[in-house]
A and B are shown apart, each in its own frame.
Chain A
Amino acid sequence: MRPGFFLKEAFRALKRNAAPSLAAMLTVLLTALVLGVFIPVVQATTGTANKVRSRVVVNVYLADNINQQQLTALRQRLTTTPNVKSVDYVSKQQALNDLQSQRPDTKGAIQLLGRNPLPATYRVVPKDPGQVQGIVNSLVRVDPTSGKRTFTMAGVADVRNRESDTKKILSATSLVKTLTASMAALLILASIALIANTIRLSIFARRREVEVMKLVGATNWFIRWPFVIEGVVVGFMGGVLAVLLLWVIKDTLIDPLSAKFALIAAPNTIQFPALIAVLLASCVAVSAAGSGLTLRRFLRV
């Protein structure tokens, strides 16, 4: 009988206090909507930033006279170096083809030269682009007095990671990432505070009712359950409405646009069903907890 009674009480209270309940529901709706738009934006931004970061590589240029044994030893060494994600071999011919397809005007110069000046390369992709210098340091030894570079492995002609480019990429992307992350954190905090506050107001309006219930001998949980159920209902309805609106926006605005803009179709964006689940669950949890916790103050009679 008890759960049924609590449910009945909760819905009766919702009906009799329609205005504050509606206000709480609207708050949930709006914050969920904003979050629902913002979460994919944050993810698309960080996804793009990560994509840019993946362009940071270490090029290990090989000497023209490198033999097969040195080649395999070097590959072995590179793949076991910490922070290395993958190692690609680019042959002399491949490098030449790449150059000529990218810059057709170099064709004449190469012909004039009569031979292929480009070295074969091991292209090393780091796991964490921020720590790329560690890979370079494991291959290059710099003499502190003369500043002369020597290499730890035989057959290496040079090691370059385009230092200035790397630095620019790293600082720009990390700025973007921290900015979006802190904005997301602020927004989530503001949403929680807003929802909790609206619910607090709607309960505050009924504190005399709680007082009377206590006088009649109701236990704290007997009073609390209907309020918590009410919070769940309000959060759920606000969340469902927000998700419906998001779906409409996605269907009419985002999907047609994503065909044109790469950023919107970014690969790492959260899937829509997952987004729905996260939003609904957090709406319900925040409003139920808000109701339950706010009551604590009025239950101390």
Chain B
Amino acid sequence: MPVPARPLPRAQRPQGRNVPVVEFDDVTKVYDGGSVGLERVSMRIGRGDFVFLVGPTGCGKSTCMRLLMKELEPSQGRISIAGRDLGEIPRKRVPYLRRNIGVVFQDYKLLPNRTVYANVAYALEVIGEPRQSIRRKVPDILRLVGLSTKLHNYPDELSGGEQQRVSIARAFVNHPPLLLCDEPTGNLDPETSIGIMQLIYRINRTGTTVLVATHDREMVDKMRRRVIELAEGRIIRDQISGLYRPDESTKEFAIRLRGELGIGDEGHPN
């Protein structure tokens, strides 16, 4: 997308606390194959918010994340981060955008042949941080995530939960204003998941805006934060402190399940 010579009125960076950190404005994403990733999605996420993005696989959660990383371009609509239109950021500046966004993935995405320390340090080396401050910051953040004893281990020597902690440490080490977590607990057992969510919540408490895509319903129900539910690329619910699904009685649950599985009302004797 060419950069317009005259800045659009909305592209001027608005000041003040009421600027949403993330803003989707009527965003549609159609993949090259023709499948629809997102359809006319609009949402605003304010500074310091903690938001769950829920929905079944293929509903567009990951598409949202990748659009925010500018890994994909929206087919239509605008996405802004802190009032800056992503469409106006030229390709060469994308790395600088990403330095202001921490990302945590389900598969951790650690560099396999670097130690825990080097993995976290890499995120600082990339932004040209002086060596001395790297030496100070990395042990600090690793202590925060509870890995101060595993500094010199390689990722394959750690448990899944520990690897996810390293990836959170890497995402947060330069204190980005926005943290994106794509299924951060997808590969972890419930007990470990709680630890990870606790950590993410702690990061949120420092003022970082956090967006968590998940289908871990137990976690969403326990945390009681804002929930945005997607289905087939559309937002179908946006609730200030919601559950994974709004309350339903066991009977309603059974009816929904039968409906989803395509079984008739008297389909099952039990």
Q: Whole-angstrom distance between the alpha carbons of A212 and B69 in the complex?
A: 13
Q: Knowing A5-B125, A222-B126 are in contact, say whether A212-B110 is a contact too (CB < 8 A).
A: yes
A259 at the binding interface (Cβ < 8 Å): no
Instruction: A13-B113, A213-B122, A214-B95 given; name 5 further pairs at CB < 8 Å.
Output: A5-B125, A209-B113, A215-B98, A215-B109, A217-B95
Q: Whole-angstrom distance between the alpha carbons of A208 and B130 in the complex?
A: 27
Q: Whole-angstrom distance between the alpha carbons of A124 and B109 in the complex?
A: 78
1/0 contact string of A1-35 vs chain B (CB within 8 Å) = 11001000000010011000000000000000000
A301 at the binding interface (Cβ < 8 Å): yes
* B interface list, Cβ under 8 A from A: 69, 71, 95-99, 103, 109-113, 122-123, 125-128, 130-131, 170
A110 at the binding interface (Cβ < 8 Å): no
Closest to A5 in B: B125
Q: Which B residues are CB-close (under 8 A) to A220? A: 95
A253 at the binding interface (Cβ < 8 Å): no
Q: Smallest Cβ distance from A200 to chain B, in angstroms? A: 19
Q: Is the CB of B99 within 8 A of A217?
A: yes
Q: Knowing A217-B99, A301-B71 are in contact, say whether A209-B126 is a contact too (CB < 8 A).
A: no
Q: Which B residues are CB-close (under 8 A) to A209? A: 111-113
A171 at the binding interface (Cβ < 8 Å): no
1/0 contact string of A186-197 vs chain B (CB within 8 Å) = 000000000000
Q: Is the CB of B98 within 8 A of A216?
A: yes
Closest to A220 in B: B95
Q: Is the CB of A213 within 8 A of B110?
A: no
Q: Which B residues are CB-close (under 8 A) to A301? A: 71
Q: Point out which of B97, B112, B130 has the most chain A C-beta atoms below 10 A from its C-beta.
A: B112
Q: Point out which of A1, A215, A219 has the most chain B C-beta atoms below 10 A from its C-beta.
A: A215
Q: Which A residues are CB-close (under 8 A) to B126? A: 213, 216-219, 222
Q: Which A residues are CB-close (under 8 A) to B103? A: 215
| The one of B71, B96, B123, B128 that contacts A216, using a Cβ cutoff of 8 Å | B123
Interface residue tally for chain A (C-beta within 8 Å): 20
Q: Is the CB of B95 within 8 A of A219?
A: yes
Q: Smallest Cβ distance from B193 to chain A, in angstroms? A: 22
Q: Knowing A1-B131, A301-B71 are in contact, say whether A216-B112 is a contact too (CB < 8 A).
A: no
Q: Is the CB of A217 within 8 A of B127?
A: yes
Q: Which A residues are CB-close (under 8 A) to B123? A: 216-217
Q: Whole-angstrom distance between the alpha carbons of A2 and B129 in the complex?
A: 10
Q: Which A residues are CB-close (under 8 A) to B122? A: 213, 216
Q: Whole-angstrom distance between the alpha carbons of A213 and B123 in the complex?
A: 8
Q: Whole-angstrom distance between the alpha carbons of A99 and B113 in the complex?
A: 81
- 22 A-B pairs, CB-CB below 8 angstroms? A1-B130, A5-B125, A16-B113, A209-B111, A212-B110, A213-B111, A213-B122, A213-B126, A214-B98, A215-B69, A215-B109, A216-B99, A216-B170, A217-B97, A217-B98, A217-B99, A217-B126, A218-B95, A218-B126, A220-B95, A222-B126, A301-B71
Q: Which B residues are CB-close (under 8 A) to A218? A: 95, 126
Q: Is the CB of A217 within 8 A of B125?
A: no
Beta-carbon contacts under 8 Å, A242-259 to B = none
Q: Smallest Cβ distance from A67 to chain B, in angstroms? A: 84
Closest 9 CB pairs of A and B: A217-B99, A217-B98, A16-B113, A218-B126, A219-B95, A217-B95, A216-B123, A212-B109, A217-B126
| The one of B109, B113, B170 that contacts A17, using a Cβ cutoff of 8 Å | B113
Q: Knowing A1-B131, A212-B111 are in contact, say whether A217-B96 is a contact too (CB < 8 A).
A: yes
Q: Whole-angstrom distance between the alpha carbons of A13 and B113 in the complex?
A: 8
Closest to B97 in A: A217
Closest to A4 in B: B131
Closest to B69 in A: A215
Q: Whole-angstrom distance between the alpha carbons of A224 and B71 in the complex?
A: 19
Q: Whole-angstrom distance between the alpha carbons of A213 and B127 in the complex?
A: 12
Q: Whole-angstrom distance between the alpha carbons of A2 and B110 in the complex?
A: 22
Q: Smallest Cβ distance from B141 to chain A, in angstroms? A: 14
Q: Smallest Cβ distance from A280 to chain B, in angstroms? A: 29
